[in-house]
Structure 1
């Protein structure tokens, strides 16, 4: 892992279903980031289409995914920068007697324009389950990159500590999370108690996950005009410090920050989380099932 990693976290307001407009805006930010020496640029989830699955044109737009993945690969090579282009929703035609599928996919594109990582969203938020197919019991992958070992999660994956544990057990020290998380994702009862409940959720979880996994987190969320429920709060978080940078709740924008990866080594030396996970007698088993402990042990 490089001792310093210069990261650009980009917060965008996606114009629904206007892929070319959204790509061009993202590309402008990425070119600016590369000109300022950034080695990695991260975009939000659904940044090309927005999340409008009930719109008639949504599936047709998702069929263009290969075109835009190619555009990002060309852009990464042009600018010599690694890009995680948020997520790209892919429409896949099913074989005979199989249903068509929509997959919500995050890619890691390296500075040569090569795809070196791919992750299909596993933990689908409730309203997504009507439209998307998750990666179910497929393992969470970790990728070797020029920046070191990298893991990727997407949005609601943040709520599951098991996802982080699976990544850091494989050596990931940098975890990238493209997100489309709004204040309106909270229930009516929750909003009555705290209109900013989802912002509190994000700030709390991101700092907690960085500490408890001795990892750096790059979190890129969508932003938008005030009054529309956008949450924003894109940030880069490390142990000991918390957010190194944190964007506002609504506005579009970009922040470029250096991550000192030595912080992760110092945090691990202090907390010994990875060391405990690697022990042969580690006492937690995260393979949940309906079996009782007696049944698992064969008693």
Structure 2
């Protein structure tokens, strides 16, 4: 089990409805991360397809992206690097679409498959959420959990993973600067920056865990802009970026801006032991008389 993990935060701008292009760009970044000694590479949500559900080409774009998982598995095995390839939109056996996040080991094996549970409201009616409990899984880095974007807004999601042993939570995201709407922007144009900078570090402190957050980015050049990005019923271009690793005691490591790029962050997992020794969050969660658990059981009994 690794004590120090080098995590590559690969903050990309997925070109709308261009899975071949996006997969090629992601491949170059993963190969670069591996050459720099990274142990784990993380891409943003919708890294392969982008998110334009009203486009008549969206479904075919998702179908053409179905081969992406095998590409990422091959990259992981070839370059000996674990990969969380953001999310891949998949068609379920019942015909519904799901936003799926995978954890691929450095041997090229799928260790975990997670379907996004807490859907942002424009996703509802398009995607089918998972209804199962959040479950961590064993990796070469210890127990890890997966969350996706808006999942982070619910403290119960991270808490459920941590109560079951997760020490690292990986969270790809598609987080825009106008998510608070026009009224929110009028009150504070930087509201989403405040939200994310507070949220990620808070989740790390309150759970004595590491949060590896990787968001989509604004394009590096005008030539890559392509179509406008659909969100909240309007057309916007601005992503919040701010990919980072949130840590208790230390705060935000490797926090990025809003532009495309890659940051490799060396994470000392021993810091989590220091945090737990002093805050004893996991110790409290494990108690049979932990009062929130008792309250929950009492509510169920009623």
TM-score tier (shorter): over 0.9
Measured after TM superposition, the shift of residue 296 of structure 1 is 3.9
Report the equivalent of 2:32: 32
Please tell me whether residue 109 in structure 1 is matched to residue 118 in structure 2. Answer: no
- Cross-structure match for 2:55: 55
Paired position in structure 2 for 1:97: none
Give the 3 Å change call, closer, same or farther, for CA 119–296 of structure 1 in structure 2: closer
Q: Is contact 1:237-1:245 (8 Å) kept?
A: no
Q: Which residue of the partner structure matches residue 75 of structure 2?
A: 75
Is 1:211 matched with 2:205?
A: yes
Secondary structure in 2 matching 1:204: helix
TM-score (structure 2 length as normaliser): 0.91
Q: Of 286, 294, 299, which residue of structure 2 is paired with 1:278?
A: 286
2:19/2:65 contact within 8 Å kept? no
TM-score, normalised to structure 1, is 0.92
Equivalent-residue separation in structure 1 for 2:75 and 2:151 (angstroms) = 28
Cα-to-partner distance string for 1:9-59 (whole Å, 9 max, x where unaligned): 010011011111101111111101101110000000001111101111111
Pair 213,108 (structure 1): closer, same or farther in 2 beyond 3 Å: same
Q: Is the 8 A contact 2:48 2:65 kept in 1?
A: no
Alignment deviations for residues 132-183 of structure 1 (CA, whole Å, 9 cap, x no partner): 00002x0112110111110000000010000011101111100000000001
Segment drifting more, 169-178 vs 219-228: 219-228
* Residue among 240, 262, 276 paired with 2:249: 240
Match of 1:135 in 2: 130
* Residue equivalent to 1:153: 147
For 2:16 and 2:239, how far apart are their aligned partners in 1?
14
Alignment-derived partner of residue 227 in structure 2 = none
Q: Paired residue for 1:221, among 215, 226, 233?
A: 215
Q: Residues 211 and 67 of structure 1: is their aligned pair in 2 closer, same or farther, counting only changes over 3 Å? A: same
Indicate the residue corresponding to 1:2 in structure 2: 2
1:236 CA drift (Å) = 1.1
TM-superposed deviation, 1:285: 3.4
Distance 1:287 1:220, change over 3 A: farther
Alpha-carbon displacement from aligned partner over 1:75-100 (angstroms, at most 9, x marks no partner): 11111100000000102342xxxxx2
- Cα RMSD (Å): 1.7
Q: Does 1:169 align with 2:163?
A: yes
In the alignment, structure 1 residue 119 sits paired with structure 2 residue 114: yes
Q: 2: distance between equivalents of 1:54 and 1:287?
A: 44
Distance in structure 1 (CA, Å) of the matches to 2:270 and 2:279: 14
Q: 1:262 to 1:103 in 2, by over 3 A?
A: same
Q: Distance in 1 between matches of 2:217 and 2:242?
A: 8
Q: Distance in 1 between matches of 2:49 and 2:73?
A: 18
CA 1:296–1:120: 2 relative to 1, 3 Å: closer
Partner of 2:138: 144
Corresponding position of 2:270: 262
- Residue in structure 2 matched with residue 20 of structure 1 by the alignment: 20
Query: Alpha-carbon deviations, 1:241-265, whole Å to 9, x = none?
Result: 111111102x100000110000000
For residues 159 and 211 of structure 2, the distance between their equivalents in structure 1, rounded to whole angstroms, comes to: 13
